Amino acid sequence: MLESMNAWEWYQDLQFWWLHLMTFIWIVFTVVLFVLEPLILHRWFMQQATRDSDKAFALIHKMHKVLLTLSLLAVAGAVAGVHGLRIVQ
């Protein structure tokens, strides 16, 4: 979308902070899903779940809540930003 809108310069403007946050979330998701999970996290999670399943699932739940909160913040910032609300000038 940035290419079709010719909006790559938005990354240089702090008023589009939500775009930076959204990109960060995409990077985290991609790295966790396609790099860390197959190489490290699958084995680690199985070990943790075997030791103490409640603690392991609580940790995973907390991580999901953090990423969901950041995602919702990015979406809310994007909606507000494209409707003219500028938090950062």
Judge whether 45 and 60 are in contact, CB under 8 Å.
yes
Dihedral (CA of 8, 11, 13, 18) sign: positive
Tell the residue number behind the tokens 């702090």, with chain if given: 14
Query: pLDDT tens-digit profile of 30-48?
Result: 999 999 999 999 999 999 9
**Cα R_g (the chain), whole angstroms:** 17
pTM of the model: 0.81
27 versus 10: which is more confidently predicted?
A: 27
